[in-house]
Structure 1
Amino acid sequence: MAATIHDMIRLKRTNKNTLESLALPERMDNRARIAFGGCALSMTVSAAFQTVESPLRGRMALYSVLGHFLGPTVIDRAVFLRVTALRDTRTFATRQVIAFQKQDDGKERACISAQLDFIVSPTDDPSIHSFLQYSVSPPQTVNPEALPSYSEALRDRVIDGGLDPNVEKAYTTNFRLFETLFEYRVPRDAPLSENVMGIDKTRKTSQDHLPLTSKRHLDYFRIRQNTSSTFSPPDPDALPISSTCLHFAALAFAMDGAIAFIPLSLSHNFLPDVAACSSLDFALRFHTDVMDAGKWHLREIRTVVGDYGRTYNEARLWNEEGRLVATMNQQDILRPHSGPDERRRGEAKL
């Protein structure tokens, strides 16, 4: 398992336009051999950064990542990333990245197709870049420093007799990757805190009286890695990763978490209850040029609409200063089982 985000997004060059991940993608909230989509997404961001940063151009800020998940990323092989330059001007750079894996027969299978847009951002002073500066306010909730880690909170609930140890074990098994890479804290009255991401699906939550589209989940996270240094051993094949790349890639990884299954968790269901629950497309946008994944970020996740086997879900992210710094929306597949005989627990797939 990757010990840090830096480990997750390290790449080596295989030819002029293609890079290869040095880490294998890893699973999360899936018992099958399928990796969490945020792994390949963060690698995609890392690959695009490798082709836009240069001393002559100066710092480049990522402001838009639009794309599609084309197929599952499996956990037993590296991810390759083919980068195509679509635009290079004095102000903007646009890259298309196709993330793919090589199958046992040697054929390529695409995992992600994404278009990433960058803007030249030579200064940290937002007033130089901005005619207007404003932001929607974050929801009112408890300070993250007043909360234990989510794993500690679950352990306390087990000790107090308020949570089945098997639920805690299921959470640790399915979600340990996130808490390996990020410090993670959740307000006690957030619905996915109360029902343990939906695993404890019969548990009543404080938002049960609300319509599904009025429910909101809130959580906090920050990268565990000391962003002033890296903990990875030297690797002669690894390309250097800039601090800017590290912060954007880390938050891209985090923003993909939980969006696909938020309608399930907010409606007293979980992954075994459906035949398929996966992300189809995504739009990730950054609203600041300076990201600091080492500081606390507050995330709000909600679902907007669901029908015809698809859902549309959104996440918003605020920094410690209360400014909205990123948003992500996805259309996701949510396909019911066609009958009780075809229900196979733990194998949600496309």
Structure 2
Amino acid sequence: MTQGDETDMAGWLHSVLGVERVEDNYFLGIATPEGQGRSFGGQVIGQALMSAIRTVGEDRPVHSLHGYFMRPGDATQPVLYQVERDRDGRSFATRRVVAVQAGKPILNLAASFHGKESGFHHQDKMPDVPMPEDLESEQQIAAGMRDQLPEVFLNWLDTPRPIEMRPVQLRPPFVREAQEPNQNIWIRARGAFGDDPAMHRAALAYTSDFGLLSTCMLMYGKTFLDRDMQFASLDHALWFHDDFRMDEWLLYSMDSPWAGGARGFNRGQLFTRDGRLVASVAQEGLVRHYDTKG
């Protein structure tokens, strides 16, 4: 698989998120294709969400999820998802999901589903940023400065992934000077992604873990690949406000209002290119710094 093969990348993400029902309320998510090391948190969240979605009628789309990471997952092994059908009310449904590997839970997730209704409406305004056509991807940016970037970062960039990202401003390790803890990145799935709204929401859950935790480290010029840093997602919350397509550009606008005690808190908003706010995200993560001078 190559970075530019968009059809394969869209199919890759579909296969990763398309959990298999093994019996009532139990689903199996595949291992990361050609994966190694720790599981990507967004993949576990996306598979857990799809497991919950498979137990709820299509007339009630998911509107929120809250997940806690308990143990690192193994990217080379599948994950078993157990769904508890907590409530099916007249307007809302709620589900709990436990992700299990090697007999131990690695994620607890709760999701809420709501039938569509009319009502009052307001939203934040989308930031005034350049459109994605006027920006380069991180791979394109790196092509002009490969001799200035760490090899481990270049290897990470060269790994095929199903989401294209075009940053509005450079972030570490492209630059190392202190910045305000906010960033904007245009994102979209590579290739056509079909017409199933549930799959698009699961794909956004998958994608929402990209780059969010790094926001709180912009003030310090640190990146998750630095040897003196340990990064790990602790919890993750996502609210879906409106319909969208993951194969169309979305602006992921992130900020970090607080960091301390080896933890960082980060928020995100996702806008369509015409300015609709379609989702909001919040995450706290471990951002532990090791003194390597001793």
TM-score (norm 1): 0.74
TM-superposed deviation, 1:168: 7.2
Contact conserved, 2:139 with 2:158, CA < 8 A, in 1? no
Q: Is the 8 A contact 1:10 1:23 kept in 2?
A: no
| Number of aligned positions between the proteins | 285
2:97 maps to which residue?
97
Q: Write the distance in 2 (CA, Å) between the matches of 1:222 and 1:255.
A: 11
Please, which of 271, 292, 297 is the counterpart of residue 245 of structure 2?
A: 292
CA contact (8 A) 2:22 2:28 kept: yes
SS of the equivalent of 2:53 reads helix
Q: Which amino acid aligns with 1:120?
A: G
Q: Does 1:269 align with 2:222?
A: yes
Structure 2: any 5+ residue segments left out of the alignment? 2-7
In structure 2, what residue type is equivalent to 1:82? Q
CA distance in 1, matches of 2:107, 2:173: 28
What residue in structure 1 maps to residue 49 of structure 2? 45
Residue in 1 that maps onto 2:266: 313
Offset of residue 174 of structure 1: 2.0
CA contact (8 A) 2:212 2:266 kept: yes
- 3-state DSSP class of the match of 1:139? coil
Separation of aligned partners in 2, 1:247 and 1:269: 31
Counterpart of 2:173, as a letter, is I
Residue 7 of structure 1: aligned partner: 15
- Contact in 1 for aligned 2:98/2:105 (Cα 8 Å): yes
Within a 5 Å distance, the mapping from 1:162-177 to structure 2 comes to 163-165=145-147, 167=149, 169-176=151-158
CA distance in 2, matches of 1:295, 1:61: 20
Q: SS of the counterpart of 2:284?
A: strand
Q: Deviations over 1:127-154 (max 9, x none)?
A: xx33222211111111112223331232
Structure with greater proportional strand content: 2
Could you say which structure has the larger radius of gyration? 1
CA contact (8 A) 1:201 1:270 kept: no
Structure 1 gap ranges (5+): 103-107, 122-128, 158-162, 193-197, 230-242, 342-350
SS of equivalent to 2:61: strand
Residue type matched to 1:90 in 2? Answer: R
Deviations 1:106-129 (A, max 9, x none): xx12111010001123xxxxxxx3
**Separation in 2 of the partners of 1:96 and 1:26?**
29
TM-score (norm 2): 0.88
Deviations 1:4-35 (A, max 9, x none): 320111222222221111343776xxxx8112
* Distance in 2 of aligned mates of 1:91 and 1:21: 29
Q: Quick one: percent identity of the two aligned structures?
A: 23
Over the aligned positions, Cα root-mean-square deviation in angstroms equals 2.4
The equivalent of 2:237 in structure 1 is: 283
Residue number among 138, 148, 163 corresponding to 1:182 in the alignment: 163
Deviations 1:292-321 (A, max 9, x none): 112110011121111112111111111122
Q: Could you tell me whether the CA contact under 8 Å between 1:9 and 1:23 is conserved in 2?
A: no
Is residue 19 of structure 1 aligned with residue 27 of structure 2? yes
